Chain A
Amino acid sequence: MRAIHSFTKILSEEYGKKLDEEGNRICGIIKSNTIQMGELIDDLLNFSRLGKSLMHESLIDMNSLVRSVFKSQTETDGKSRVKVKIDHLEDCPGDQALLEMVWNNLISNAIKYSSRNSSPEISIWSSATKKSVTYFISDNGVGFDMVYKDKLFGVFQRLHTTKEFEGNGVGLAIVKRIINRHGGEVYAEAETHKGATFSFSIPLK
């Protein structure tokens, strides 16, 4: 995959002037497809490893975890126009690396699907009972029709075309698998064009 991507890049950078507009467009398609395929391979590898890997449990400082994930995503994407409100979050027991993957997916989704809004807003909060902590993330993005809610967490299931929003349909399947391994549940609520709220619970031991 890397070779295809690299040689196409060489082709367009060093021979781009000899190619006409259509030739350059085709090079662009090859490059974007190899990137997508690379992401898909990584996601599927992650997804399959999740079934087997050992869990390393500790008490997770959710406040710093969420803030650091959010920071890394808005820095790389330059999407700092997102207004974010992070409440004080309860800590919970869990696997730091896996829960980081969960927040990475949920936060990148919230950023992606609210990116068409002129003033995107994301809120993150938690609520605790004696038995579990539930974390929520909501955005004011495109949302989805609740008719499709049972499909959301399936592998390769998407509710948007690649033209509307890029993605391979693996992210939320990863989230569900990780939360289930923690003994928790995932939920989603949304309304088309009015945003979405995703939540997950983690049981307290």
Chain B
Amino acid sequence: MKDLNAVEILIVEDNPHDAELTLRALRNNNLANNVFIAEDGAEALDFFFCRGRFADRSINNPPKVVLLDLKLPKINGLEVLKAVKEDPRTCNIPIVVVTSSRQEPDIKEAYALGVNSYVVKPVDFDQFLNAMSSLGLYWLLINEPIK
């Protein structure tokens, strides 16, 4: 198991094929070295709050960005977003919702809960690759996080 404290990008995605495509986009830009994939909302929350099998992780080493799907087993993306943004220990972690949902209520609720960005996955693969690599480059190299 790689060092969980070095994770720069947390992908929360239950579909392994979707996760593979995102990884491929990040890999094209050499951004995929410190990526961790959580497969449902419950696992994501355990990661954020260093519980369960993530007990050894330090909450002071947050990822630089989280790519959060909305449709997730057990605890959905909006519930994860709410829990993370409500807690002072995790509220500053940049969260980008990456979803196929263009539904207005989802978008409104995500912004109301404090999402840092909302991206609708393009169906076209080239556009998807572009969107994911721009996202990765922006949050890892351009954005200045709280130290």
| Minimal beta-carbon separation of B129 from chain A (angstroms) | 15
**Cross-chain contact of A148 among B17, B39, B74 (Cβ < 8 A):** B74
Complex contact B73–A159 (CB within 8 A): yes
Given that A148-B74, A156-B71 are known contacts, is A161 also in contact with B17, CB under 8 Å in the complex?
no
Tell me, yes or no, whether A56 is within 8 Å of chain B by CB: no
Give the interface residue-count category, chain A. 10 to 19
| Minimal beta-carbon separation of A160 from chain B (angstroms) | 6
Complex contact A159–B74 (CB within 8 A): yes
Tell me, yes or no, whether A5 is within 8 Å of chain B by CB: no
| Minimal beta-carbon separation of B38 from chain A (angstroms) | 10
Contacts of A36-76 to chain B: CB distance below 8 A:
none
Complex contact A162–B16 (CB within 8 A): yes
Binding site secondary structure of chain B: loop
Q: Which of B17, B39, B40, B73 has the most CB of A within 10 A?
A: B73
Complex contact A161–B71 (CB within 8 A): no
Complex contact B74–A162 (CB within 8 A): no
Contact flags A117-161 to B (C-beta < 8 A → 1, else 0): 000000000000000000000000000010010010000111111
Interface pairs (15), CB distance under 8 Å: A29-B17, A33-B17, A156-B71, A158-B14, A158-B73, A158-B74, A159-B73, A161-B14, A161-B39, A161-B73, A162-B14, A162-B15, A163-B14, A163-B16, A163-B39
Q: Which residues of B contact A (CB under 8 A)?
A: 14-17, 39-40, 71, 73-74, 76
Contacts A156-B71, A161-B73 supplied; 11 other A-B pairs, CB < 8 Å:
A29-B17, A33-B17, A145-B74, A148-B74, A151-B74, A157-B76, A158-B73, A159-B74, A160-B73, A161-B14, A162-B16
